[in-house]
Amino acid sequence: MQLDPEQTHYLGRVLRLRRGDVLRVFNGNCGEFAAVVASLGKNRAELEVGARLVTSTESALRVHLVQGISRGERMDFIVQKATELGVKRITPVLTAFGVVKLAGERADKRLSHWQKIAIGAAEQCGRVRPPLIDVAVPLKSWLGSKPRDVNVDLILRPGAATAMTSVAAPCTKVCLLVGPEGGFSEAEYDDAAVAGFLPVSLGPRVLRTETAAMTAIAVAAALWGDLGPH
């Protein structure tokens, strides 16, 4: 297995590995494998890939995060931490009150940037399958064609009558819809309701978008996923 210059630099300069050192590798699809550094140069490295390893870092609960796009580092933080918490899919959406506008080449670059963040986070936390990250789309368009294989659709809304902790457990999959810095418009809440989303709250305080997303994912994992007692 041959590595590109960026991966070679990480192996030699960051991890300070040498020829003959043992490590684990994953390709984001087939799982994790044992490997040995066969050669390591300045811009090129080769690994000898061995047996597939048994891992248990992927949650049986499938969490799909639909996130209103936030500014720079906030969105990067959300992608990174959502990966660490086991989210399976992230869909960035453009919303009425969102300040970030993406289209064309700029949207492609942001998608590539988020994918790299997710891969790095997966490497750090031991996941073998980084989350799927979709191309950014307008929220209204996504609601009109959203996946139908979800058991529970939840939209975070401050002051909602239903607490997230009181929602019945999904069979396999939950979709969490989280607004950007400015939240959702009333029209967007209405559209989400028509699409079958239940408004839920995370307590009496209004949370920042990145805090809300991480809290909702953690609550889902604690109630129904691998952070709970079961």
Name, of 50-54, 105-109, 179-183, the range with top average pLDDT: 179-183
pLDDT value at position 32?
Answer: 67
Token representation of residue 195: 């699409």
**Interatomic CA distance for residues 139 and 178, integer angstroms:** 11
At 31 the pLDDT is: 61
Query: Which residue type occupies 79?
Result: V
Other CB atoms within 10 Å distance of the CB of residue 225: 22
pLDDT at residue 29 is higher than 70: no
Contact (CB, 8 A) for 174 and 128: no
pLDDT band at 217 (very low <50, low <70, confident <90, very high): very high
Chain segment 56-99, per-residue pLDDT in tens? 677 889 999 999 998 878 999 999 999 999 999 999 999 998 87
> What pLDDT, on the 0 to 100 scale, is given for residue 35?
73
pLDDT at 124: 86
Please name the residue ranges forming H helices in the chain.
Answer: 5-9, 72-84, 104-125, 139-144, 186-194, 209-224
Query: Which domains does the chain possess?
Result: 2-53 (2.40.240.20), 62-224 (3.40.1280.10)
Residue 30: per-residue pLDDT = 57
Q: Look at 60 and 216; give whichever has higher pLDDT.
A: 216
Cβ neighbours for 53, distance < 8 A, ≥ 6 positions apart: 24, 31, 32, 33, 34
Q: How many CB atoms lie within 10 A of CB 174?
A: 26
Q: What does the alpha-carbon distance between residue 91 and residue 228 come to, in Å, rounded to a whole number? A: 25
What pLDDT is recorded for position 15?
73
DSSP structure class, residue 57: -
pLDDT at 44: 81
User: pLDDT above 70 covers what percent of the chain?
Assistant: 91
Q: What is the mean pLDDT of residues 202-212?
A: 95
CA distance 171 to 61: 8
Average pLDDT value over all residues in the chain: 87
Q: Are 21 and 40 in contact (CB under 8 A)?
A: no
What pLDDT is stored for residue 81 in this prediction? 97
pTM, entire model: 0.80
The whole-number pLDDT of residue 17 equals 75
Task: Provide mean pLDDT across the span 175-180.
Answer: 97
Of the given ranges (6-15, 124-133, 140-149, 180-189), which has the lowest mean pLDDT? Answer: 6-15
**Quick one: DSSP state of residue 145?**
T
> What's 2's DSSP letter?
E
* pLDDT > 60? residue 28: no
- Taking only the tens place, the pLDDT of each residue in 157-166 is 999 999 999 9
Close Cβ partners of 186 (under 8 Å, ≥ 6 residues apart) = none
